[in-house]
Amino acid sequence: MNKKDVRADRSVDKLYASMRDRHGAVNSRANGYLYEGYFLNEQQLLFSLLNIRSDVLIDVACGSGLMLLPLVDDQRTIVGIDFNSQAARASFDNGLSVIRGDAFHLPFGDSTVDEVVTCQFFNQQRPTAVQQFILESARILRPGGRLIMVWRNGTSWIHRLALFVFGTLDRLRGVEQFPYENHEFSSIESYAESGELSIVAQMVSFPPTKWSSPMIDSWKARLFGASNICIVEKRGGTDV
């Protein structure tokens, strides 16, 4: 596998540290969610997509660890990874096993993990970084293992409106702006193919209403599809 030399983004790391300072370690706003209901509904959607038979589950760019925290008492090994030292400490304090590590150079051996998830990580990353993350996930996944990716849909009208409104409010308050990158499904498919990963499912969702649909090119998706979800599977095996 030819890895590109991509490293954790220190500037974004500092921005997330300032968010955690403002909102605290147990507030979903520290992980980039504007309100709790959005986070909780997206969390439930993610849980419905997980493979219940997976033994080792990794949350990359886990923030404060809140996304997978309700699952820590089940039989799976669940580990969070975040480059931000404050986030890693917050995850640990919240009860999640955590490693401070780089999403682009994951601290796991080849073919050792059943399932990888990442939520709201891509939109602060350039295409080369997203590609390397997907290749790294492919490396650590066992054959038949899955990667579940959730990120904001920058082309939907509802998300464009939210970016404009909340971005304007943040600028008026003097809050430093995060960089923003939009990633199309076609790009994610290309990166997955280069890592010998097969597309299992794609969908868009609008968590505030619990609406989701696999019709990613429909008018509803273009209007209401605030989040993108893509599930890919490593070739060469059966489900774990």
221 falls within a domain:
yes
Nearest residue to 72 (alpha-carbon basis) of 100, 48, 111, 98: 98
Residue 38 pLDDT more than 50? Answer: yes
Residues in Cβ contact with 180 at an 8 Å cutoff, skipping those fewer than 6 apart: 123, 124, 154, 163
On whether residue 2 sits in a domain, the answer given is no
Identify which has the larger pLDDT, 52 or 5. 52
pLDDT over threshold 50, residue 3? no
The tens digit of pLDDT for each residue in 48-81 reads 999 988 999 999 999 889 999 999 987 789 999 9
- pLDDT for the residue numbered 26: 61
pTM across the whole model:
0.86
Q: How many structural domains is the chain composed of?
A: 1
Q: Is residue 21 part of a domain?
A: yes
- Enclosing domain of residue 34: 10-234
DSSP alpha helix (H) spans, the chain: 10-23, 36-49, 85-94, 127-140, 157-173, 185-194, 219-224
Of 21 and 176, the one with more pLDDT: 176
Determine the pLDDT at residue 8: 52
Q: Token pair of 66, please? A: 């809140």
CATH number of residue 190's parent domain: 3.40.50.150
Residue-wise pLDDT for 173-197, tens only, equals 776 766 789 999 999 999 999 999 9
Question: Is 230 within 8 Å of 188 (Cβ atoms)?
Answer: yes
Domain annotation covers residue 3: no
Contact 219, 199 (CB under 8 A): no
For residue 40, tell me if it sits in a domain. yes
* CA–CA dist 113, 143 (Å, integer): 9
Residue 172 covered by a domain: yes
Question: Does a structural domain hold residue 1?
Answer: no
Tell me which H or E stretch contains 125. Answer: none
